[in-house]
Every structure is written in C-alpha cells, then in structure tokens.
Amino acid sequence: AARARAVFAASFDEAAGGPADAHEARAGQEQVPVWAAPGRVNLIGEHTDYNAGLCLPIALPHRTYVALRPRPDSVVRLASAQAPGETWTTTLEDVAPGAITGWGSYVAGVAWALREHLVAQGADPSAITGFDAAVDSSVPFGAGLSSSAALECAVAVALDDVAGLGLRATDAGRAVLATASVRAENEIAGAPTGGMDQSASLRATAGHALLLDCRPGLDPVESAEQVPFDLDAAGLALLVVDTRAEHRLVDGQYAARRATCEDAARTLGLGSLRELADDVAATGDPAGALAVALEKLPDDVARRRVRHVVTEIGRVRDLVALLRDGRPDAVGPLMNASHASLRDDYEVSSVELDVAVDAARVAGALGARMTGGGFGGSAIALVRADQVEAVADAVRAAFEREGLGAPGFLLATPSAPADRVV
C-alpha cells in the first residue's frame, strides 16, 4: 500500500509541477486511499468454468494495491510500479470494445463496465468519473495466479467506494463487481477467460475455499459457497511453484479447447458439458455412463477433452465433500488425478509443470497438480507444514537437473477478498 502511494505521489502529485499554494501542498500531503485485491489459486476444477462446471479457488495473501483519487473530469491517468516510467492515459468516452490496448485496458475497462451496469439499472453512469490511479502488486505477472483479475478487482472496489455505489458491502453486490471485472477483461482487454478469477478475488474469504458453480443462468449469490479450508489448523501448507515458464501458444490453445467442448456438447444435444457431468453423476455407474456418452463423439481428441471436463467436475464434488468432512489431509489423490487428467486428456500441462508436480510428490507432498490454464504458469503442492522447505528444495533441484530456469515459490493461505486497506 505504501509503495502504491509512493508511485501515486511520484506520478501525479509532482507531475502537476509541485504545489502552487498552501492549500495544494496540504492536498499533496494528504494520503490518497488504497484498495487491494488478491490473486488466486484454484485448488481443483480446471477448464471447467467455461463448461458451466464447478471450481474451487482460494484468495492468495498476495495482492494488487491501487491508490486512487477520482477526478472532476472523465480523464483516466494510470501508473504502475510494474510498468515503470510510463503513464497510461485515456478518457472514459474513448473506452469501448476493441478501442484501447495495453495494461490500462484492464483498469479503464472496469470503469466502462460499471458505467454499463449503471445504464442497465437506469442510473446515471456519470457517477463513475475519471481518476488518477497508481498500482503496485505482489502477485506475480502471468504466473497463472491471476494478476489481471487482482488488478481489475482492486479497481472495482475502489470505484465502488469513491462513487458511493455500496456494492462491495454485500456478496450480491460483489457478484456485480465480479461481472463488471469479467466484462473488462473479456470485452475491453480482449482476453476470453471464464469468470473464476474475479469471483475468487472479490468473494473468497479467509480460511475458506470458494466453491463456484459456473452455470450462466444461476442467481449470483447461489453460485458461490464458502467451504472451510483452514490449512494452519490442519498442520498443512499449500506450496505454489511458479515455473516462470512462458505461456506458450496459450491464446489459440485455450480457444481451441473451448471450441472442442462446445462442439461436443452440441453433438450430445446438451447445453453444456456440465449437463453431461450431472447426468452421469446421477446414475449408479458414472464411469460406465460416461463411456456410453463418449462413444457418441466423433474423434479421440473430443472424447479425451470431454472425459477431462466431466471427471474434473466429479473431483471438485469429491474434494469439497472431504473438506466439509474435516479431512483436508485426504485430498491429495484427487489433486494427483486432476493433474494426470489435465496432462493426458486435456493436454494443457508443460514439462515444467510435470517436473514440479513429480518432484513435489517424490519429496513427500500429499498431492500436487498444475493450477490455472496451463502451458506454463504455476503448480500447487499440498504439504505438511514442516515439509515446505524440503519439498521446495526438491523442486528447485529437479528444475536444475532438467536444465530448466529457476522456479519461484510462495505459500497460499486462504485469505481475505478485495477491499479498502488504508
């Protein structure tokens, strides 16, 4: 928060040419308020969100801080400690799908989406004014830990606060802010991602995982459930391995997976693969029922993609049941099965992710899997609290042995959602 304020002062208070009179000097010294939003890791339920499925993210302690001051006009000026030396500027009237590029589109996109929300409500969109904002983040970039959603959601709670909308006070309101953040990412930043990241950042709570039901027609409040996940109490830790590998080919691959799933659902006469998952779960023999459905698909690739999505939704249900039963130390095999399915059936893992997962397991992790979209990014390992160092050392050594670049490590404790910090 202090660094976001420092970036703000350096970028905007001094850019004005220094205080012209005593009043401005006081205003300059006045501390600008700061909001923050967390990155996330997904415990299980990967590539299920766009199939109307289930996923189970937690909010990280790592977050993106936004120092923000509204302006009397519609100008947006942005600075970021992660984009040093550049100020990104636009006016809200110029923000539209396809019209702006760069990291500022994640920020200005949220303002645009909140204005759209107000218009849809029959309210005055000019409640969302322009603003100066400075950003600093402890969420690693492009590591599959959702720095993009952390940025959007920090801006969403900031604008909610300064415009007096009051949305962040309730879970229903937070669902509205999540939708606005998703629209910013999809329509303004142009990244066709599902809705998990923004819901995790705005709606997950400390000591819990967030069970998200991604069926589109669902009432937003009914779409999320808090599931107890107190790692400390269980003597466990969730070690995140940031492979620091490029997301190779990720854009085209993600779109291709999505299209395959949508085509398969259509072939089966279903609205989404979630319906297939529910149908097979309702039979006495889910594996047999799934096999029958898979025979109706035209090719082996489609069959494997669908098998991943359907079994993964089942694993989310099984993992949640274990957590509700107070058995977080028993979820390892489900994490392992998720990784195998993503690697072999969905084909979104990478050498780095496989090395991280295998080394963690050999060193004693209870379970390990890739997390996020794949093709690089991060893996997670559930470990006994006293084995964190040993598992991290083993992963580091395995990367060296395989000639891979050094990975980064962080600990994921289920943490609080986006809010004002100072």
Residue 137 contact, options Mg ion, ligand ADP, none, Cβ 5-8 Å cut-off depending on partner type: ligand ADP
User: Does 103 engage in binding with ligand ADP (CB under 6 A)?
Assistant: yes
Chain positions 104 to 123 lying near ligand ADP, rule: CB under 6 A, are 106
User: Does 141 engage in binding with ligand ADP (CB under 6 A)?
Assistant: yes
Q: To the nearest whole angstrom, how small is the minimum distance from the Cβ of residue 200 to ligand ADP?
A: 12
Vertex 69 angle, CA 21 and 176, to 5°: 165
393 as an active site residue: the answer is: no
State which amino acid sits at residue 158. A
Residue 106 contact, options ligand ADP, Mg ion, none, Cβ 5-8 Å cut-off depending on partner type: ligand ADP
Of the candidate residues 11, 42, 80, 338, the single one contacting ligand ADP (CB under 6 A): 80
Of the candidate residues 9, 82, 205, 267, the single one contacting ligand ADP (CB under 6 A): 82
Q: To the nearest whole angstrom, how small is the minimum distance from the Cβ of residue 107 to ligand ADP?
A: 8
- Our CB check for ligand ADP shows the closer of 243 and 387 to be 243
Of the candidate residues 42, 51, 64, 371, the single one contacting ligand ADP (CB under 6 A): 64
Chain positions 170 to 199 lying near ligand ADP, rule: CB under 6 A, are 191
Q: To the nearest whole angstrom, how small is the minimum distance from the Cβ of residue 243 to ligand ADP?
A: 12
HSE-up of residue 213 (Cα within 13 Å, Cβ side):
17
User: Does 137 engage in binding with ligand ADP (CB under 6 A)?
Assistant: yes
Of the candidate residues 44, 68, 95, 135, the single one contacting ligand ADP (CB under 6 A): 135
- Our CB check for ligand ADP shows the closer of 186 and 226 to be 186
Q: To the nearest whole angstrom, how small is the minimum distance from the Cβ of residue 106 to ligand ADP?
A: 5
Q: To the nearest whole angstrom, how small is the minimum distance from the Cβ of residue 262 to ligand ADP?
A: 22
Q: To the nearest whole angstrom, how small is the minimum distance from the Cβ of residue 66 to ligand ADP?
A: 9
Catalytic residue among 13, 49, 161, 197: 197
- Residue in the block written with tokens 């160092």: 389
User: Does 148 engage in binding with ligand ADP (CB under 6 A)?
Assistant: yes
Q: Which of 18-26, 78-86, 267-275, 391-399 is the region at the interface with ligand ADP (rule: CB under 6 A)? A: 78-86
Binding site for ligand ADP (CB under 6 A): 64, 80, 82-83, 103, 106, 135, 137, 141-148, 151, 191
Catalytic machinery residues: 197
